[in-house]
Structure 1
Amino acid sequence: MSELGEQTLESAPAASRPVRLSEAREAAGLHIAALAAALKVPVRKLEALEAGRYEELPDLTFARALASSACRQLRIDPAPVLEQIPLNPKPALRDSDSTINAPFKPASEAPAASPLTWLSRPALLGAIALLLAALVVMFLPDMEPADVVQGAPDTAQEAAAPAAPAAAPGLPIFQPSEATPGAPSAPAGEETTGPADTGAAAPPTPSPAAAGAAPTAPTSAAAPTVTPEAPAVATPPGGAVLQIEASGESWAEVVNGTGTVVLQRLLQRGERVEFSAAPPYAVTIGKASAVQVKLRGRAYDVASVARNDVARFDAK
């Protein structure tokens, strides 16, 4: 009885081997490497299939599929070969005692996301950075004119010192002013300063720049000459092209058509400047509410072009 059991155990592996597959290949005179190349599989997998070493293959389903492909290549019936390959074992049911008490955690008990977890995401940080940059760009134009107004007095004081000596080397032509007869005026086409018309009883108040240039006026008036480098430009028939009169302290900058800065300083209350040569002029007023501007004798509304009390316009 024991001998019969041993013979049954020894014959079981042999029966599971697809013997007919190897016999059909050898009968066709086809080498195992050639068959593996035709099936596009490694030789070791085909050898494991013919030897019945199914543990070297991915699973029994793969083994049966490979055997069917080999039978089609050898042009034999695959049914007898597939009978020699065992089927996949049925999955065994687990013990209910080991799984019935498995912990169950519903989705509602999942831990709530912390705000710090959202902030640690790169996409959210990038969106916050873009939002902050957009806010800075929106409010930057409103803050820039305020910086110009605050820094205007310091710039005007630094530029006022060299402004007076700069008028000495030139040899301008002086013309009498209508407001103060007999007094020398500034060069034609450049800056003309003087007090506003406040009445006959009020004496004119000279500005610091005019006081520094006063000693040179009699010398120039005694011998007026014209140099070829600075030709005289006639004043337009209607008067000055640009006239700025300050009703309070205000910083002003005027650049003529050649790109030369003809005025860049702080205007005192009651001071008036006129320009008539080399238009157009690029004008910047630091305190637009404290000045009155005339273009060719007509009043110009500075408040309409002012932003944060800083006006920029072109006088043509």
Structure 2
Amino acid sequence: MTPEMSQEQAPTPSLSEMLAQTPSAGAILAAQRKQLGMSVDEVSAKLKLSHRQIEALETDRYDALPGNTFVRGFVRNYARLLQIDAQPLLHYLESHLPQEAPQAALPRLQSETLPTLRPGGSPGQSSFLLAVLGGLALALIAFGAYWLVQQSRQEPILTLPETQAPVVLETPAPIAQSAPVVSAPAIEAAPAAVPPEPALPAQAAALTPALPAAQPTPAPATAAPTLPPATTPQVTPPAVVPAPTGEIRVVAKQESWVQITDANGRRLVNELLPAGQVRVVGGKPPYQVRIGNGRQTELYYKGKATDLGPYIRVDVANLELN
């Protein structure tokens, strides 16, 4: 067997062995990228990350990245792009990520024990001690209440104004008025012909023959009176409160990190959303939106659902909302 054949059949070291031989996870990512013939610009375009962030990952400068949660997501997506197992790299990160500052804890109020009055003590001195201790207790209580109020003011809750539906008044249809019934005048029967008296021949000659039967006269057609059109009362609908412009609603069906920046460069959202959480924000469009777990996240803009499928690259959705 020749040396060339033995070198070709040598097994490829696993990722855990590479971690043991190389100083860091960033070096493994850089070596695998170079082995695949990919440049930093190509990785930046596919992962939708900046050139500076790719260099920070490969040089283990995790303090230059947004946070530990984002670093884990970046490394997981980078490993998936390079077609290597991400678990050894994530295990390496647990002991090399910078410590995040712990959240401020509520100061505990120390309980003061009141001294026991002894019969031999001075009444004036005991009263003075009680007053001092009572004042200290009140000061501690007031400080604790002030601290709670300040903490509650630092985290305002965004409440969307409720939109009142306009009231539509139905105008009743005008009641059709029937045309007035005009009764035809009664036709009086013509008086019967009076027979001539025999004693008066002159008057008999003057009498006209009997009138023919009177024909009924049709009643004149009476036009229906023209009714004035029903006036519809002018109802002014109440002003509809418009929805806030540029409203963005994010629904995380699974755990997903979300970053939203408006036109002023202000970060409206920059956090890891647990499953089932909803965030509603608004600012000045256009918005730069980046969602880590895009396939398990729903995005609504101005009340309409936005399909994230065309914008997803390696589970990371990057898009701009106008």
Higher helix share: 1
Select the structure of larger CA radius of gyration.
Answer: 1
**TM-score normalised by structure 1 residue count:** 0.32
